């Protein structure tokens, strides 16, 4: 367990903010296998009113946690930065290490026998760490849109749909704001207009939904961008602020993603594939000579 040193020379509010961030890291994110982003920590702290619900509050969290890591008060590994990760070339110390990797890496594609296909689309990279392990567990392709889907990404989606006669459902997670709603609707329309007759493509938005927004239980402080042509209609229906996906508790997002995926799985066929994978792993172990553990 991380032990936070007692802060010196800082206000009680700053010390309390760091201490609570450490608690969130240890008690909320680590048990879920999540490395949070600064924005996720900001929302968790803002809900408890330890920081102002504003851009200034976010900047404060970013600054305070950067200083806390420098001081040894918050763990370096406790904040994710997916845009600046080091990409290491794959290499092994010896053949035994390579064989060990082969044993761990083999997985049978369980979706080959399923009657439909599923992908997970995220509007933002900031929540990748929250759901990536679930996508990996269920062998779901993961697409990070980073805002509006590029023409290349949309065309590649068309190609994937055309290459397989089975229906494809994209489970979507994104912010609830005029642009966020429009970018999804626009991408879906673009793809459907270019599909051949008979091709089936669905999008299932699981966060942030209209129901989430209407319930009013999620932190909503960022103002609607009134320069957006869709802003007036949005404000009339939902109000003057938007809801970012980071406002949703990470455990709730994980539950929604897993539930949505399971809703598209034929359990009987999935279990058959699991049994086949175990047989294949035994065969792989035999071919490798049973060496190592």
CATH of residue 190's domain is 3.40.1360.10
Going by C-beta distance under 8 Å and a sequence separation of 6 or more, which residues neighbour residue 162? 195, 196, 199
Q: Which domain holds residue 143?
A: 115-265
Pairwise CA distance, residues 232 & 138, whole Å: 40
253 lies in some domain: yes
Q: pLDDT 10s digit of each residue in the chain, 293 long?
A: 545 554 455 799 999 999 999 999 999 999 999 999 999 999 999 999 999 999 999 999 999 999 999 999 999 999 998 766 677 888 999 988 888 888 888 999 999 999 999 999 999 999 999 999 999 999 999 999 887 788 999 999 999 999 999 999 999 999 999 988 888 888 999 999 999 999 999 999 999 999 999 899 999 999 999 988 889 999 999 999 999 999 999 999 999 999 999 999 999 999 999 999 999 999 988 888 755 44
110 lies in some domain: no
One domain for residues 170 and 216 = yes
164 lies in some domain: yes
Prediction pTM value: 0.88
CA dihedral 181, 185, 190, 195 (to 10 degrees): 140
What distances in angstroms separate CA 86 from CA 82, 83, 89, 106, 236, one per listed residue? Answer: 9, 9, 10, 25, 45
60 lies in some domain: yes
């Amino acid at each position: 367990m991380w032990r936070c040193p007692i802060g010196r020379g800082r206000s009680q509010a700053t010390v309390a903010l760091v201490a609570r961030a450490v608690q969130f890291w240890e008690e909320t994110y680590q048990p879920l296998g999540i490395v949070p982003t600064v924005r996720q920590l900001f929302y968790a702290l803002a809900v408890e009113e330890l920081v102002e619900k504003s851009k200034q509050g976010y900047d404060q969290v970013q600054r305070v946690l950067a200083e806390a890591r420098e001081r040894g008060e918050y763990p370096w590994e406790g904040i994710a930065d997916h845009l600046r990760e080091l990409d290491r070339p794959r290499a092994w110390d010896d053949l035994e290490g390579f064989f060990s990797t082969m044993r761990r890496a083999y997985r049978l594609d369980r979706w080959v026998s399923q009657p439909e296909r599923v992908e997970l689309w995220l509007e933002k990279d900031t929540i990748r760490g929250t759901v990536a392990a679930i996508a990996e567990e269920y062998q779901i392709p993961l697409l990070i849109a980073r805002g509006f889907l590029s023409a290349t990404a949309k065309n590649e989606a068309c190609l994937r749909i055309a290459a397989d006669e089975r229906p494809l459902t994209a489970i979507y997670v994104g912010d609830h704001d005029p642009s966020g709603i429009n970018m999804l609707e626009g991408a879906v329309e673009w793809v459907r207009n270019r599909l051949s007759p008979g091709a089936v493509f669905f999008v299932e938005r699981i966060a942030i939904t209209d129901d989430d927004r209407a319930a009013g239980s999620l932190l909503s402080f960022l103002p609607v961008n009134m320069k957006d042509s869709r802003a007036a209609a949005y404000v009339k229906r939902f109000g003057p602020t938007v809801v970012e996906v980071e406002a949703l508790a990470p455990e709730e997002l994980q539950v929604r993603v897993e539930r949505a995926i399971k809703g598209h799985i034929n359990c009987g066929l999935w279990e058959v594939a699991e049994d086949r994978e175990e047989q294949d792993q035994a065969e792989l172990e035999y071919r490798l000579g049973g060496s190592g553990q």
